[in-house]
Structure 1
Amino acid sequence: MKKIFSGFRENIAYPDSSNFRVILQKGCYHIDPHWHPCVEIILPLSGDYQVKTEEETYHLDKGDIIFLHSGTIHELTGSSKGTRLIFQFDVEILYSLREFQSLLFSFPSFFILKRNIKNPTYIAAEKLLLSVILESRRKKLLWEASLYSLVLQLYTLLFRSSALQMQILPGKNPGRITGRQETHQYQEKFLAVCQYLNQNLSSNITLEMAASYAGFSKFHFSRLFKEFVGMSFSQYVTGQRLHKAKLLLLTTQASITDIAMEAGFNSSSTFNRVFYQSEKMSPSGFRQSHAKLKT
């Protein structure tokens, strides 16, 4: 199926009017830096593969799995003797579920699951992706519904895995918590807090409100939040609002003012100032830089 490029953006042409694109790609392959509004999962079945993001180059061996989230600029290179599965699907499939919405705002721009036959998460993920190949080849009745189900199973698996939770919550556990069960309970509590925050980004969420939701005093919550999440409460909320705003800038034609309000900023001027401090460019400049023509 052909790819349609508009500058750095790759517009995916899904076959059969579906929301999925499954490719078994063989031989030498290279594609220059680009991004797309879909999710892309790559699994080298033989040979190796190289993925370069804006910051670093990653080498994938046979069996490694990389999850590239929508809006991530990346460059791909495959070896001449390699074969790899490339699975792309509409990101709206994930955002259609409320539980997923909150966690996706904390999902890293890309995530690599290294091949490890002793890791239950890896074994289950590989099995689901191999099922994707079978379903796309057979195209039996309700094959698209089956792919939809496999995607949901895959991301449920990822969100529950400790490896991904450590990326979503990169902070260190509080020193006073030593028991594995107690640590797990605190992880679940602060994942729930982050979910609550992400679901209410457009509201005027205060530290007091979040502390009350978690059942802690303001002081205790503030300290635990920073230790578990790796940043202060205000840094987290601002970061998630910026993440949501960038997603809206990339995937919609909404005005800057509407995006500012939807992401939870109290004015477009505040949004522009905070966005520039983070990205060193304006929101409109960010949108244009991802759509500009290659030179």
Structure 2
Amino acid sequence: MIEHLDGIHETVTYKENSSLRLFVNTDCEDYPIHWHTPMEIIMPLEGTYTVFLGDKPVLLQEGDIIFICPGILHSLVAPENGKRIILQIEWSVVSKIRDLNSILALISPVLTLTPQTAPDIYSDIYHLICQILSEYEEDSFLSEAVIYARMLDILSLIGRYQAFASCRFDAGPQKQKEYLDRFLSICNYIDEHCTEDLSLDQVAKTAGFSKYHFTRLFKQFTNTTYYKYLNRKRIDHAMLLLSDPDIPVTEAALQSGFSSLSTFLRVFRSVKQCTPTEFRDMYIHPEKQQKNP
């Protein structure tokens, strides 16, 4: 359930003295387009469940697991009958751990795991989520610490699996490991400095590669270009600024690292399928949100 929705921004009500929230949802209720700062994990226990990313549906079958990254616009459509685990966990608690932010680059905007798509890790992650549910319901001494420990296990499994499954570095095993470590660090660096003037030449030099070698390897690692990756991080930052009606759109663009308003408008529409003004209008006036078909 969504308890506090300000426009399209959900303020998650965590469990008391906690930074996470978990519930077994059986409501036949659709949730409008929204975003929030915690990561959200949904796993149907009975029946199906549909997650919309914009107008693109992701149909979850019983036992499928979806990870929705922080700040991603999404909506939810429930069937008449069903049951699903919904876990919202504050990302900032673990975001300072080395390499974890880079995992977001590997799974953003969402990652769906099924026994068919991830046979090597699905069973382990399924059982870890069940352990999290048990700890949450028992609410015993150090339960939250145990839950975050299980969550770190999940993220580590996903990070290693996604990194090695998606990366196709043209190199031997030792170089693969070296490149993986180096590009995880580079993604962390970009995440932390995305609002600054980060040229391709500068970041390639920081990584220790020529611009052309870096460009090829970065695309192999992230499955996107350097500037598309950088712009996505800048748009995520801009979304937070646009939620404040007192910050002009031009100022949000400049504070997010864009040198011109026209570039910001073009990139924002490309990433979020709406203009910054439309996004802000949805944030401030929830009645103007479009319903999914």
C-alpha displacement of 1:261? 5.7
Give the structure 1 partner of residue 127 of structure 2. Answer: 127
Aligned partner of 2:264: which letter?
A: F
Of residues 263, 274, 283, the one that matches 1:274 is 263
8 Å contact kept, 1:95–1:101: yes
Shift of residue 49, structure 1, vs aligned partner: 1.7
Structure 1 pair 154/247, CA: closer, same or farther in 2 (3 Å)?
Answer: farther
CA contact (8 A) 2:245 2:280 kept: no
Alignment of 1:135-284 (within 5 A): 135-162=135-162, 166=166, 173=168, 177=170, 179=172, 182-250=175-243, 255=247, 259-260=252-253, 263-265=256-258, 270=260, 272-280=261-269, 283=276
CA distance in 1, matches of 2:163, 2:98: 22
2:56 is the alignment partner of 1:56: yes
1:141–1:91: structure 2 CA closer, same or farther, 3 Å change rule? same
Structure 1 counterpart SS, 2:152:
helix
What residue is the counterpart of 2:286 in the other structure? 293
**Residues 1:287 and 1:152: Cα distance change in structure 2 (over 3 Å):** farther
Q: 1:118 to 1:100 in 2, by over 3 A?
A: closer
Instruction: Look up the SS of the partner of 1:15 in the other structure.
Output: coil
Secondary structure in 2 matching 1:264: coil
Deviations 1:74-129 (A, max 9, x none): 33233444221111123332434454345436641221111359823212211221
**Alignment partners' CA distance in 2, 1:232 and 1:50:** 30
Conserved in 2, the CA contact under 8 Å of 1:40 and 1:88? yes
Q: How far has the Cα of 1:278 moved from its partner?
A: 1.7
1 CA distance for matches of 2:62 and 2:93?
Answer: 28
Q: TM-score, normalization: structure 1?
A: 0.78
Question: What is the identity percentage for the equivalent residue pairs of Structure 1 and Structure 2?
Answer: 28
Describe the shift of the 1:103–1:246 C-alpha distance in structure 2 as closer, same or farther (beyond 3 A). Answer: farther
Task: Give 3-state SS (helix, strand or coil) of 1:59's partner.
Answer: strand
Aligned twin of 1:29: 28
8 Å CA contact retained: 2:106, 2:159: no
**Cα distance change, pair 289–245 in 1 and its aligned pair in 2 (3 A):** same
Aligned length: 282
What CA deviation, in whole Å up to 9, does each residue of 1:18-63 have, x standing for no partner?
222111123x522132313132211111222222221311211111
Question: Which blocks of at least 5 consecutive residues in structure 1 are unaligned?
Answer: none
Structure 2 residue matching 1:131: 3-state secondary structure? helix
Query: Could you say what the CA RMSD is over the residues aligned between the two structures, in angstroms?
Result: 3.3
The 5 A counterparts of 1:104-123 are 104=104, 107-116=107-116, 119-123=119-123
Q: Are 1:95 and 2:87 an aligned pair? A: no
Alignment-mate amino acid for residue 73 of structure 2: I
Q: What is the match of residue 19 of structure 1?
A: 19
**C-alpha distance in structure 2 between counterparts of 1:215 and 1:118, whole Å:** 33
Please give the alpha-carbon distance, in whole angstroms, between the structure 1 residues aligned to 2:47 and 2:127. Answer: 19
**2:191 & 2:47 partners in 1: Cα distance?**
40
Matched residue type, 1:123: S
Q: In structure 2, how many angstroms separate the alpha carbons of the residues matched to 1:15 and 1:98? A: 27
- 5+ long unaligned stretches in structure 2: 289-293
* Displacement after TM superposition at 1:3 (Å): 1.6
Structure 1 residues 247 and 8: CA distance shift in structure 2, 3 A: closer
Secondary structure, counterpart of 2:189 in structure 1: helix
Distance in 2 of aligned mates of 1:43 and 1:66: 7
